[in-house]
Structure 1
Amino acid sequence: MSVTYLISAPPVRYYPERVDDDPGWLDEAGQTAVAAIARLTGRLVAPFSDQVTLWRVGRVSRRLARLDDDAFDVEILKLRTQIRRQGLTGSTIVAGLALTRETSFRELGMRQYREQILGALAMLRGRLIEMDTGEGKTITAGLAAATAAMAGLPVHVITVNNYLAERDADTLAPVNRRLGLQTSVILEDMKPPERREAYRAEITYGSNTEMAFDYLRDRMHFGPEGPRGLRQRLRRVTAAQDAQNQPVMRGLHFAIVDEADSVLVDEARTPLIISHQTDPEEEAAWANRALKVARQLQDGRDYKLIRDERRINLTEAGKAHIARIVAEEDGIWKSAIRREEVITQALSVLHIFRSGDQYLVREEKVQIVDEYTGRLQPDRSWSDGLHQLVEAKEEVEVTGQNLAMARMSYQRLFRRYVKLAGMSGTVREVSGEMRSVYGLITRRIPPHRRSKLRYRMPRVYSRAATKWQKVAGIAARETEKGRAVLIGTRSVETSLIVSEVLEAHGLPHRVLNAENDYESAEVVAEAGQAGQITVATNMAGRGVDIVLGKGVGEAGGLHVILTERHDASRIDRQLAGRAGRRGEPGSVSVILSLEDPILKVIHAPVMRLLARIPVLGWSARLKLFDLAQKRAEKAHARARRELVRQDRRMNRLLSFTGGLE
C-alpha cells in the first residue's frame, strides 16, 4: 500500500480533547431540547443553505476543471494556504470541497455527485449521515476529511476493521497526495514508534479497536491528571526530547466514523480494557470445579434461564444448594457473592454460549465471533472469568484471566473528540441514542439514483427443514436465470447447515464464514458472477461490495436470501443492501421458520398458537419475529445504558485517583 508520512514532524506539545463532564438529568433534558430546536431549524433552513452551498461548489469546480495540470497544482497551493489561514469557514469549506472534488476526478476518474457533496458538508458540520449502501460513502468521507485536514485539523477516519481501513486509505491516498496531505493507516502489528509517525499524518485511517486502545494507552501514560494536568505541563517543559516520552496520538481533533451504528452502538456494549493476566493453573482449577457444580443444578428449581436477555438468575433454593455442594471448599467458594457469580457464569456457558455461534475453537484456542460482523476476534477475550469457563467447557488449555489496569467505554471515548461526525447506511433505528449519548444529529442523504432493489413477500414455515428446502429451491431457480445468489445466515453453524442442503441438491457454492475468513477476498470477488451461489455470515455485510459479472445485471442482478432475523434489524438491512447497489437491479427474499433461534427469547403462547394455523397465521408469524427482534434490541439498548451509568459511577467513585483510565 502507498502511504506517506510526515518527515521530521515536531513532537506532540498539546493533546486536545473535549472535557467529558457527566451530565445530570437537567443537563440531559436541556441537551434534548436544544437538539429538538436544532433539528427543526435544520429542516427549515438547511435545504436553502445547502442549495446555495452546492451552487457555490459547482461554480468553483467548473473554474478548476478548465485549468491544465500545471495551473491546477498552482491553484492547489493557493487555496490550501487560504484554507489553512482561515480555518473551516463557509467560504473555505466551499473551496476545500471543490478542490478535493476536482482532484478526485483527475486522480481517480471520479467526481463526487451533489448528494455526496451534501454528505461531506453535513459531516463537516458535525452531523451523522445516513446514505444508502453503494452510494459511495468512502469518497464522501474523503471529501470531508481532506477539507478538514487542509484547514489544519488532524483527521481520524475510523471504521470497523483493518481491512476496510487499509482499503479506504489506499483508495484515497493519490487524491490526498496531490493535495499535499499525508495519509497513513494504523495496523495491528505496528510498534509504538510506527504508530506515532502514522498519527502525525494529516489524515489517519484505522479501526475503532486500534485507535481506541492507542488512546487508552496514552491516558495511562498521562496519569491521573490527564494531558492538561500540571505534571504533564512540567514534563513538556523540562523533559528531554525523547520520542519514547511522547504520547502516540496527537489528541482527539476530528473523527469521521464509518459504519457509525456498528462502532458507536454495537461495539459500545463492550468496554475497552487494558489488563494483565492471572495464573492459568489457578483459573483452570476453579473453572472446572464451577462447571462441575453447575451441571448438578436443575432448571426451574435452582435457576431460571431468561432467554430474551441471555442471562441466568439463581433462585434462593439454588443458592442454598450451591452452598451445600461447596461447603468444605476454600478460596472463592467461601464468599457467597463470588461463588454465586461464578456459578451464574458457568450456567451461562453451559446453556447460552455455543461453539459456532458466539465463538469457534481454532488451533486449540477459543476465539470470539463478532455477532455483527461475523468475523473472528482472536485478540479479544470475555471478562470476569467467562472466557476461562468456555475454555474449560471445550477442554482446551485454560488461559489466565485479564484483570483491568485501565478501562473506558466507547461512549466516553468518542464524546471526547472535539469534533465528531459519522456515516452509515443503517442508522435511523438508533438516531435517538446517537443524539442522547454522542450529541450527533442524524441527516438523511437522498440516493443519487433511484433504488431498483425489490423485496419479495416474506415466507415463514413451521419447520426449519422445510425452510432450508425452500432456500435451496429459490437459489436453484435464480441461478438458472443467470443471476448471482447470496444466502445470508446468522452464525457459522447455520452456514454449514445451508451448505449441506445445497450439496444434497447438487448446487455448487462457496461458503464465507469465520472459519475461512482468509478466503474472504476471493469469495467476494466471485460472488457476483452468473450462476454463483455464496453462503455467508455477516462477513458479507458491512463494507462488502459485490461487483456483478457480465450479464448478471440484465438477468436481474444479485438476489439475497435472508434465512434468519438478527437481534438488530439494522444488520438485516446491511446484508440485504449487498443487492441493488448504485441503482443496479436486485431483489431480496426473507425465508424464516418458527424454529429459528431468535424466537426462543419470547413466550407469547397465544400468538404462537395462531402462527400454527395455515394461511390465517401468516400475520401472526411475522409479528412473532417483530416482537422477538424488538425485545432483543431493547435488551441490548438497556445493556448499553447500564454500561454508560456504570462508567460514570466508576469514574466518580475513583475520581480521587483520576478514574479508572
Structure 2
Amino acid sequence: MLKFLFGSKNDRYLKKLTPVIERVNALGPEMAALADSEFPTRIAQWKEQVAAGEKTLDDLLPECFALVREAGARAFDPPMRHFDVQLIGGCALHEGKIAEMKTGEGKTLVATLPVVLNALSGKGVHVITVNDYLARRDAEWMGQLYAFLGLSVGVIVHGIGEKERQEAYRADITYGTNNEFGFDYLRDNMKFYKETLVQRPLNYAIVDEVDSILIDEARTPLIISGPGEKSSGLYRRVDDIVPRLVKSSPTDPEDKDAVPDGDFVLDEKTKSITLTDAGVEKIEGLLGVDNLFDPQHIALQHHVLQAVKAHYCYHKDVEYIVKDDLVVLVDEFTGRLMPGRRLSDGLHQAIEAKEMVKVEAENQTLASITFQNYFRMYDKLAGMTGTADTEAVEFKQIYNLEVVVIPTHRPMVRKDFPDAIYKSQVQKYEAIAEDIADCHRRGQPTLVGTVSIEKSELLSNLLKKKKIPHNVLNAKQHEMEAEIVAEAGHAKKVTIATNMAGRGTDIKLGEGVCELGGLHIIGTERHESRRIDNQLRGRSGRQGDPGSSRFYLALDDDLMRLFGSDRLAGIMNKLGLEDGMAIENKMVSSAIEKSQTRVEAHHFEIRKQLLEYDDVMNQQREVVYSLRRELMMAPEVDNIAREYGIDLLEDILGPALEAKVAEQEMTDSVRARLEEVFNFERFAAWSEGGLPTREQAEAWVDEIFAYLRASTGNHYQEVLRYFLLDSLDRNWKEHLLNMDHLRDGIGLRGYGQKDPKQEYKREGFALFEELIYTLKETAMRAFSHLRIQAEVKDEEFQHEQTDQLEYTDSGSAGDKKKEPVKRAEPKISRNAVCPCGSGRKYKKCCGS
C-alpha cells in the first residue's frame, strides 16, 4: 500500500533527479553555441575551480553533463547524444551507486558523463572492465569524446611494461581490467623505490559488469606467489591409487543409520570428500602406511582428499581445459579462460597429475587481496550492469552500494516463453536441435547459451548431423569472440556460446530480422545464478527490438538433480507424461527460480565468510602496507631504524634491569640475546661482563648508526631504507604462510566448542604481534652486522647494486677499526647456517 501511495524507493530516487535532468536540458542551447575549440577550455577552467576549492563536482554537474552530451553529438560519427535516461544513469554513477541498465541501453556512453565530471578533480578516474578486449575497445571508442574535451586516456592491459603503466595511471582517465588494477596494487606494495610505483591513490572507479567482478569473482582472491619447497612427486603417487577407490552410492538423507557402501562419500553441492572406514583401510594398504590419521601422515591424507576431488569434482572442458600441456581454468560464470590463475592448496597440482601433464611446484603466497577489500579502498565506487537487482542486498551489505534501476529508452517487447522441462538430457537436446532447425528454416537468428565448453561441443555435433551451419563460441575460440557475436543477429545465423556471449558486445539485428521475430535466445539449462540467465536473455530485445527467449531443462541437469528434481519427477509421473513430452508451467519455472535463490544464498554465505576471514588479514595488510609506504616515501628513515633498536632494547634488556635480583642465568641469557641482535661484542666495555645500563646500551645503538652513516656517506638513508624494507618483506612473506596454515586448520577449533572465526582473529593477532617484533629484530641484526667496503665510490652505488653490502661474522671485542671486511673464501654454502645469526639456512636468509 505504501509503495502504491508513495512509489518505491527507486521511483522516489528517479523523481528526485527530475530537476537535475531539466537543468541539463535547459543548458543545451548554450553548449550548442560553443565552438569546438571552447570545449577543452571549459574543462580546463573547471579543473582550476575545483583545485582552488571555488566549486565542487556537484556544483558543476549540470554544466558538465550538458557539455559532455553536446561533445558526444560532435566527437562521434555517427553522432551519439545522450538520452535523458542515460543522464539519469550518469547521476547515479556520480553519486556512487550501481546503475542497472538493460542490455543495449548504452552503458559505455553513460559512463562518460561521471568519468568526465570526476576527472575534473585531477586525481584520476578508473573504468574497470571484464577483459582486455573491452578495455581497449572502450578506451579507443570513448577516447574520441575525451580527446575532444582535452582529457588524456590510458589503458592497462596484460603484457604492457612498467613505464606504460605509469603513464596510463597518470592520465585523467584509465581503462583496464579488475585483475590488472588489483595486481598492480599488490606489485606496488612489493617494490623498493618510490620511482617505480605505478598507481596513484585510489580515487574513483566505475566497474562495468559490476555483478560479475564484485560478486562472481569475489570468491577468488588475487594472489602473487613464489615457488614453495614441497615436492611434486607425491601427487603422482597418490593419483595412481584414485582409480581403485569406489564412490559410495547416494543414501537417503533421512536415514541416519545408512552406512556408505564405497570408499568415499561425495557431496556435489559443497564439492567435499569424506573417506569411509573401508576407504581409509584400503588407502593405507595401497600407500603402505599404518595410520593415515597419524600426525606424520597429515600431508598424505590431504593429498588423497585433493586427488579424489580432482577426479570427481573437476572435469575437463567444464571447470578447466588442457592447452599446451597446461591445465587452464575456465571461469564458470563467463566461460572465459583464466590463464595464470591456479587453484590453491595443492588442488591444481592434483588435476595436473590426473591429466598427466607436468606437475608444477606448489607456490607460496607473497601478497594477496580479495576483490572486496581492493575495491572498498576507493574513495568512491560505482558500477553498471544489466543485472544487479537480484543481488541488491549483497551490494549494500558488503560494499555499501545501492542499486538504481534505470528506465529503458524504449519499452521492452521481447517474449520470454516458459521453461520447457524434459525427463532426460537426450530428449532435451533433441528438442533444442528441432527449435534451432525451425528458426533456421524461417531465417530467424538464434543464440544458444550453454553452461560449459563440453555442452557447447555436444550441441555442435548434434547440429552437424542435422547439417545446420553454425558458429561455436567458447573459451577455445575466445580470440574470435567479438567478430562471432557481432554477426549473431544476422538472418539464418546460429551461434552456440558459453556464458561469455552474455557480456560486453551488443548483438545488432541484421536486415529484415525484425520482421522474423528478432533474435531468438535458447538456454540449454539454468545456471546456479539467476543473473547469468537474465544476462543471456538480455542479449535479445535491445532498445525496443523484437526478440524471444526460452530455457530448456531436463530432470538430470546439475541444478535440477542437486536441488529438488525428486518433486518434479513425481509431478511428471503423476501427469503421465510420455518420453519426449515437456512441461511448460509457470509454477514449475517459479520452483526452479526458488532453487536458484537458495544456491545464490549459499554462495553469498561463502563470500561473506571469505570476507570475514580476509578482513582480519586486511587490517594487518593495511598496517604493513602503510608502514611500507612510509619507509619508501620518507626522506629520512634513520629515526625509524633507531626506534626499532630502542624498542628491541626495551624488550630484551628492560625486564632484566627491572628484576630485583638479576640471577647469573638471566644475565647470561640476556647477554646472549643482545650479542645475537646488536653485536655489542664489538664494543670494548662489553667484555667487562654483566649487563649494560639503558643509557650505555642506547649509546652503543647510536654508535652502530654513526658507523653506518660515516661508512655510507650520501647513501646512508638508502642503505637503511633497503634493509628496513627487506626485513619487512621477508617477514611479511613468512607471516602470510603462517596465516595460510592457521586458516587451513582453524575449522577444527569448532570441535572444541570454540568459534573458528574468533579464534582466527585471536591467533592471527598473536602472529601479527610476533611479525612486528621479528621485522624489527631482522632489521637491527642487519644493521649491527653490516660492514661497508671502503672502496665503494658514489658514482658506482645504484639502487639495484647491493653486492658491496655483506653480512659478516662479528669481530672480536677489541676490534673497533672501520676496515673493509672481505668475504671469506671459500664462498658460504647455500645450505650452511647463515652468518647473520638468524639460525636459518644461508639460501633462505641473506643468500636469497
Smaller-chain TM-score range? 0.7 to 0.9
Contact 1:129 1:423 in 2 (8 A): yes
RMSD of aligned alpha carbons: 2.6
Aligned to 1:303: 264
> Which has the larger Rg?
2
Aligned to 1:555: 516
Aligned to 2:342: 381
Contact 1:157 1:203 in 2 (8 A): yes
Aligned to 1:261: 211
Aligned to 2:399: 438
Pick aligned residue for 2:355 from 394, 408, 417: 394
Letter in 2 for 1:90: D
User: What's the secondary structure of 1:185's corresponding residue?
Assistant: strand
User: What's the secondary structure of 1:295's corresponding residue?
Assistant: helix
Aligned to 1:52: 19
CA distance, structure 2, for counterparts of residue 628 and residue 462 of structure 1: 18
For residues 83 and 526 of structure 1, do their structure 2 counterparts lie closer, same or farther at Cα, with a shift above 3 Å needed? same
Instruction: Give per-residue Cα distances to partners, 1:424-447, cap 9 Å, x unaligned.
Output: 111111110111111111111111
Work out whether 1:178 is the aligned partner of 2:128: no
CA distance, structure 1, for counterparts of residue 18 and residue 163 of structure 2: 45
CA distance, structure 1, for counterparts of residue 27 and residue 51 of structure 2: 18
5 Å-filtered alignment, 1:10-25, equals none
Aligned to 1:225: none
CA distance, structure 1, for counterparts of residue 293 and residue 180 of structure 2: 35
User: What's the secondary structure of 2:550's corresponding residue?
Assistant: strand
For residues 430 and 559 of structure 1, do their structure 2 counterparts lie closer, same or farther at Cα, with a shift above 3 Å needed? same
For residues 507 and 333 of structure 1, do their structure 2 counterparts lie closer, same or farther at Cα, with a shift above 3 Å needed? farther
CA distance, structure 2, for counterparts of residue 209 and residue 310 of structure 1: 26
Superposition deviation, residue 67 in structure 1: 2.7
Identity %: 38
Pick aligned residue for 1:199 from 169, 184, 199: 169
Letter in 2 for 1:626: E
For residues 649 and 317 of structure 1, do their structure 2 counterparts lie closer, same or farther at Cα, with a shift above 3 Å needed? farther
Pick aligned residue for 2:309 from 344, 348, 364: 348
For residues 424 and 439 of structure 1, do their structure 2 counterparts lie closer, same or farther at Cα, with a shift above 3 Å needed? same
CA distance, structure 2, for counterparts of residue 61 and residue 570 of structure 1: 37
For residues 140 and 324 of structure 1, do their structure 2 counterparts lie closer, same or farther at Cα, with a shift above 3 Å needed? same
Aligned to 1:273: 223
Pick aligned residue for 1:161 from 120, 131, 134: 131
Pick aligned residue for 1:634 from 557, 577, 601: 601
Letter in 2 for 1:509: H
Superposition deviation, residue 111 in structure 1: 0.9
For residues 100 and 461 of structure 1, do their structure 2 counterparts lie closer, same or farther at Cα, with a shift above 3 Å needed? same
Superposition deviation, residue 520 in structure 1: 1.6
5 Å-filtered alignment, 1:156-555, equals 156-221=126-191, 243-244=195-196, 247-278=197-228, 282-283=231-232, 285-300=233-248, 301=260, 302-315=263-276, 318-319=279-280, 322-323=283-284, 325-328=286-289, 335-555=296-516
Contact 2:414 2:546 in 1 (8 A): yes
Aligned to 2:72: 104
Instruction: Give per-residue Cα distances to partners, 1:538-581, cap 9 Å, x unaligned.
Output: 12111121121111122211111111111111001111111111
Superposition deviation, residue 40 in structure 1: 11
Aligned residues: 599
CA distance, structure 1, for counterparts of residue 266 and residue 292 of structure 2: 27
Superposition deviation, residue 625 in structure 1: 3.4
* 107-116 or 316-325, larger mean C-alpha shift: 316-325
Instruction: Give per-residue Cα distances to partners, 1:189-225, cap 9 Å, x unaligned.
Output: 0112211111000110110011011111122338xxx
Letter in 1 for 2:98: L
Contact 1:462 1:595 in 2 (8 A): yes
For residues 344 and 625 of structure 1, do their structure 2 counterparts lie closer, same or farther at Cα, with a shift above 3 Å needed? farther
Aligned to 2:665: none
Work out whether 1:62 is the aligned partner of 2:29: yes
Instruction: Give per-residue Cα distances to partners, 1:217-246, cap 9 Å, x unaligned.
Output: 122338xxxxxxxxxxxxxxxx8xx723xx
Superposition deviation, residue 68 in structure 1: 3.4
Instruction: Give per-residue Cα distances to partners, 1:583-616, cap 9 Å, x unaligned.
Output: 1111101111112222232366344322344478
CA distance, structure 2, for counterparts of residue 457 and residue 50 of structure 1: 37
For residues 555 and 81 of structure 1, do their structure 2 counterparts lie closer, same or farther at Cα, with a shift above 3 Å needed? farther
User: What's the secondary structure of 1:592's corresponding residue?
Assistant: strand
CA distance, structure 1, for counterparts of residue 566 and residue 239 of structure 2: 33
5 Å-filtered alignment, 1:579-618, equals 579-602=540-563, 605-614=566-575
Aligned to 1:22: none
Letter in 1 for 2:388: V
CA distance, structure 2, for counterparts of residue 470 and residue 68 of structure 1: 60
Aligned to 1:28: none
User: What's the secondary structure of 2:174's corresponding residue?
Assistant: strand
In structure 2, stretches of 5+ residues that fail to align are: 1-5, 249-259, 578-582, 621-760, 774-848
Contact 1:611 1:618 in 2 (8 A): no
* 199-208 or 468-477, larger mean C-alpha shift: 468-477
Superposition deviation, residue 296 in structure 1: 3.7
* 616-625 or 346-355, larger mean C-alpha shift: 616-625
CA distance, structure 2, for counterparts of residue 348 and residue 202 of structure 1: 47
CA distance, structure 1, for counterparts of residue 147 and residue 772 of structure 2: 41
Aligned to 1:146: 116
* 85-94 or 249-258, larger mean C-alpha shift: 85-94
Contact 1:558 1:587 in 2 (8 A): yes
CA distance, structure 1, for counterparts of residue 85 and residue 401 of structure 2: 20
Work out whether 1:95 is the aligned partner of 2:63: yes
User: What's the secondary structure of 2:462's corresponding residue?
Assistant: helix
CA distance, structure 2, for counterparts of residue 117 and residue 100 of structure 1: 10
CA distance, structure 2, for counterparts of residue 211 and residue 472 of structure 1: 42
Letter in 2 for 1:257: V
User: What's the secondary structure of 2:274's corresponding residue?
Assistant: strand
Contact 1:558 1:580 in 2 (8 A): yes
Instruction: Give per-residue Cα distances to partners, 1:6-46, cap 9 Å, x unaligned.
Output: xxxxxxxxxxxxxxxxxxxxxxxxxxxxxxxxx99965863
Contact 2:128 2:175 in 1 (8 A): yes
CA distance, structure 1, for counterparts of residue 15 and residue 520 of structure 2: 39
Aligned to 1:572: 533
CA distance, structure 1, for counterparts of residue 182 and residue 357 of structure 2: 30
For residues 506 and 411 of structure 1, do their structure 2 counterparts lie closer, same or farther at Cα, with a shift above 3 Å needed? same
* 186-195 or 39-48, larger mean C-alpha shift: 39-48
Instruction: Give per-residue Cα distances to partners, 1:57-76, cap 9 Å, x unaligned.
Output: 11122210133334555544
CA distance, structure 1, for counterparts of residue 213 and residue 518 of structure 2: 30
Contact 1:332 1:339 in 2 (8 A): no
Superposition deviation, residue 528 in structure 1: 1.4
Letter in 2 for 1:66: A
CA distance, structure 1, for counterparts of residue 481 and residue 225 of structure 2: 31
Contact 2:482 2:505 in 1 (8 A): no
Letter in 2 for 1:261: D
Letter in 2 for 1:361: V
For residues 579 and 84 of structure 1, do their structure 2 counterparts lie closer, same or farther at Cα, with a shift above 3 Å needed? farther
Contact 2:420 2:553 in 1 (8 A): yes
CA distance, structure 1, for counterparts of residue 8 and residue 537 of structure 2: 34
Letter in 2 for 1:180: G
Contact 2:46 2:120 in 1 (8 A): no
